[in-house]
Amino acid sequence: MNVVVASTTTGTPALPGKTVDRGSRCGAEPQDAPDSHHILRLPQELWDEIIDYIDHDQAAFSACSLTCRAWAAAFRPHLFHHLRLTARSLPHIQQILHSNAHLAKYTTRVIIDYEGNPSVLSQLRQHTVLANVLSTLPNVTQLKLLAMAVTPSLISALSTVSPHIRELRVGCLVATSLEAYVQFIRAFPHLRALSLKEISSLLKGHWDVYPTLLARVMHQRRLTYDWQRATDRLCAPGGGNHCTALDAILQNIPPSLESLCLESQAWSNFHVPVSHRMDHTSVRSLELRFMTPMDEYWSPVFLWHTRMTGIREISFHFYFPVDHYFERVVSTLSSMVLSLRLPQLQTVAFVIWTAQTDSVEDYTAYIELIRELLLHLHEAGSLVLRILWASHVAEIGMSRLVN
């Protein structure tokens, strides 16, 4: 068994080389002349290398942009790589982009987050502004939607960027008809990665956890607070076909999709399609988060009826504390993997999201259990156990189970 331990610190690892003294001018010695900051006017190739290196670290971008004038010119535009649009910030960002149109070309990732103000009526009023902002961003390829109500005006507002989106992450999405979900997913014809986190959680009914968006929709439509009736409103009519929001989306995902991630709130309300099996041969990677005791029942059914014969890697995610159900669920998953026809399967990964105080050694027993239950994959060197900190996405260890 080989164990590879990754970085355990947050943020961007330090670049090799000379440490910059924050008290000096751009790393120069105190006795240097004031005009010496041109020394750090680096070649464009090196700027590009540094920018790519810290691409996901907004704090590092901000720190670099405050170093000196030369660094400010290179790094400040890239502070707009990642835009978070909220009900409060949307008008302000619109004004900034209107006054500084050259910044729009740097934005590649956008989060539209209405969790702070999930009122459907408020969202409807802002769709014109949202459309204006998105129309100025030509290079957006990654989009994340939080607490969104699917309406025709939302789909229209997204239309300027949706054809270019390659990665879509969805959380707290709700609509009042299955057709709305169909129109929504069809607006993204070139997706390569799709993550569905909390679509059906709103339909399934955690009233104490999610009292926001669906409650407002139900109130506006004068629906009863009976969750089963609310769910029935989103089921397709006809003899026994229990189509849900997840079915509507999965049946209409584009053929370009290669990676699919589903969280338990999205698929735990999955109903078996009666008349057909959904064929998604383009999908190469499937992640299922987070496994619970109920998943030993739904997961085999779900995978059987979605038929992803092109899968090369399946990841099963568990959230700490891993309880007594772990062995039972892993046993079910082992039988399922054996029975499925996945000719291209290369890796089965078990990912445990754990407390920051834990170490890889704390999970030796789970490594042995997985190896024992999935002996056929262990012998082929296809089993992986990854340990992630739950407080922030940082891998503290990876074990590949080999002979």
In three-state secondary structure terms, 66 is coil
Q: Are 403 and 387 spatial neighbours (Cβ–Cβ below 8 Å)?
A: no
- How many Cα atoms within 13 Å fall on the side-chain side of residue 379? 5
Chain center to CA of 205: 22
Q: Locate the DSSP E strands across 99-178.
A: 109-113, 142-149, 167-174
Residue 293 and residue 246 in one domain: no
Query: How much is the pLDDT for 265?
Result: 58
In three-state secondary structure terms, 62 is helix
Q: Which residues pair with 348 in a beta bridge?
A: 314, 383
- Residues 280-291 have pLDDT tens digits of 889 999 998 887
Q: Give domain status of residue 106, yes or no.
A: yes
**pLDDT: is 246 or 127 the higher one?**
127
Percent of the chain surpassing pLDDT 70: 65
Domain boundary, last residue among 246, 268, 290: 268
Q: Please provide the size of the chain in residues.
A: 403
Q: Give domain status of residue 63, yes or no.
A: no
Residue 167 and residue 243 in one domain: yes
Residue 228 and residue 311 in one domain: no
Distance CA 334, CA 362 (A): 23
Residue 185 and residue 242 in one domain: yes
Residue 261 and residue 361 in one domain: no
- Residues 302-336 have pLDDT tens digits of 777 777 888 999 998 887 666 667 778 888 887 77
Q: Which domain holds residue 345?
A: 277-403
Residue 296 and residue 236 in one domain: no
Residue 296 and residue 214 in one domain: no
Distance CA 392, CA 276 (A): 40
Highest mean pLDDT out of 22-26, 138-142, 167-171: 138-142
Q: Is the model's pTM score more than 0.85?
A: no
Largest CA distance in the chain: 84
Residue 158 and residue 284 in one domain: no
For the beta sheet containing 259-263, the strands, ordered from the edge strand earlier in sequence to the opposite edge, are 2-4, 395-401, 383-389, 347-354, 313-319, 285-289, 259-263, 193-196, 167-174, 142-149, 109-113, 82-86
Give me the mean pLDDT over the 199-210 stretch.
38
Query: Letter for the amino acid at 351?
Result: V
Residue 127 and residue 259 in one domain: yes
User: In b/e form, how buried is each residue of 126-137, taking b as 16+ CB within 10 angstroms?
Assistant: bbebbbebbebb
| Domain total in the chain | 2
- How many Cα atoms within 13 Å fall on the side-chain side of residue 272? 10
Q: Which residues pair with 171 in a beta bridge?
A: 146
Split at pLDDT 50, 70, 90, the class of 54 is confident
Q: Is the pLDDT of residue 130 over 70?
A: yes
Query: How much is the pLDDT for 276?
Result: 55
Q: Give domain status of residue 58, yes or no.
A: no
Give me the mean pLDDT over the 64-80 stretch.
77
Contacts of 196 (CB under 8 A, 6+ apart): 170, 173, 246, 249, 261, 262, 263, 266
Q: Is the pLDDT of residue 235 over 60?
A: no
Highest mean pLDDT out of 112-116, 151-155, 196-200: 151-155
Residue 167 and residue 111 in one domain: yes
Q: Give domain status of residue 39, yes or no.
A: no
Residue 122 and residue 159 in one domain: yes
Pairing relation of β-strands 109-113 and 82-86? parallel
Residue 283 and residue 251 in one domain: no
* CATH code for the domain of 305: 3.40.50
Q: Are 395 and 386 spatial neighbours (Cβ–Cβ below 8 Å)?
A: yes
Contacts of 241 (CB under 8 A, 6+ apart): 273, 274, 275
Average pLDDT over all residues of the chain:
71
Q: Is the pLDDT of residue 184 over 70?
A: yes
Domain boundary, last residue among 202, 233, 268: 268
Domain boundary, last residue among 268, 292, 319: 268
